[in-house]
Amino acid sequence: MAVQLKRIVVTVSKIFLWIILSLVLLLVAVIIAIQIPAVQNFITQKAVHFISDKTNTKVTLGHINIGFPKSIVLKDLFLEDMKHDTLLYSHRLSVDIDMFKILSHKIEFNQIEIEQLTAHIIRSMPDSSFNFDFLMNAFGAGDTSAKPEPDTLKSAWKIAIKGIDLKKVHFTFVDETAGRTMQFSIGGFNTQFKDFDLDEKRLYIKNIDVDHTTASIVQTKSAVTSDTASGAILYDIDVKDINLSVLNVLFQTPEQRLNLQVDKAGVSANKIDLQRQQVSFKKFNLSNSSIDFT
């Protein structure tokens, strides 16, 4: 009886070890396979066709490169909206991410790089719908306008970002309901975070560098004042260094117009705490700049 029991234990142990070994070999094979460009692009094109068929819009992706387990690079990504206008185009989107941390419900971006991006967001009358709502509806996101319950504000996922680098980014937001048009053309933008915690509403920024950038905010309707302070979610934001080069900002309403032109500006701060409205500068430089207010 003891000999028979021993044989059963040995047999079961061997089967269990073979299962574990097979799973490990399968995982290794998958990891090796997704390093092959042909496999990556085959899977990508299948996913692109699925999204395109699901949304009845044009979706294309020129190339994808996955450097497991650290990086994902998308090239020539294009999405159109339901009116067949450009919703999003990105020449190059690179993400340096720790993929293993996803297993523990953490999404940690070491670096996000975007080059030559164009995005157009429209909020239409009379239903206040966005031109990207069809994406949410196609994948069952439902009504995204509903406010979450207080106990669900904190996400089960932890998201962290260490650095963002943007080059040649063009973004427009047309809000027909509010009578507002926002346009941004960013030549270069770089920022590094010391601490990025959305759950705790804490953003500690090492530096913000902006160059060759124009921003325009035009309000065609008079703004309606409302008391939103009680429902506002205040973030703890601290910035150390800000460097601006060749910046042009326009803000216009039916009542007033503000135009800011900066050739070069730099701020080195002991503290810029927006939540507590505390500002303490080490150094402030401004040259060849002007402000026009009417």
Q: 101: closest CA among 91, 111, 109?
A: 109
Q: Which residues pair with 268 in a beta bridge?
A: 241, 283
The answer to which of 9-18, 57-66, 113-122, 268-277 has the lowest mean pLDDT is 9-18
Determine the pLDDT at residue 159: 85
**Residue 185 vs residue 31, higher pLDDT:** 185
Q: Is residue 276's pLDDT more than 80?
A: no
Which residue has tokens 């709502």?
133
What confidence tens digit (pLDDT) does each residue in 99-145 have?
Answer: 778 878 888 899 999 999 999 999 988 888 899 998 888 876 555 45
Q: What is the rounded average pLDDT for all residues in the chain? A: 82
Q: What's the pTM?
A: 0.78
**Residue 243 vs residue 13, higher pLDDT:** 243
Q: Is residue 13's pLDDT more than 80?
A: no
Q: Is residue 80's pLDDT more than 70?
A: yes
Determine the pLDDT at residue 31: 61
Contact between residue 256 and residue 294 where contact means Cβ atoms under 8 Å apart: yes
Query: 20: exposed, middle or buried (C-beta count within 10 Å: 0-12, 13-18, 19+)?
Result: exposed
Determine the pLDDT at residue 32: 66
Determine the pLDDT at residue 153: 46
**Residue 98 vs residue 140, higher pLDDT:** 98
Q: Is residue 273's pLDDT more than 80?
A: no
Determine the pLDDT at residue 19: 62
Distance from chain centroid for Cα 29: 31
What confidence tens digit (pLDDT) does each residue in 14-33 have?
Answer: 665 666 665 556 556 666 66
Spatial CB neighbours of 207, under 8 Å, sequence gap ≥ 6: 190, 191, 192, 240, 241, 242, 243
What confidence tens digit (pLDDT) does each residue in 258-272 have?
Answer: 999 999 999 998 877
Mean of pLDDT values over 169-197: 94
Distance CA 9, CA 7 (A): 5
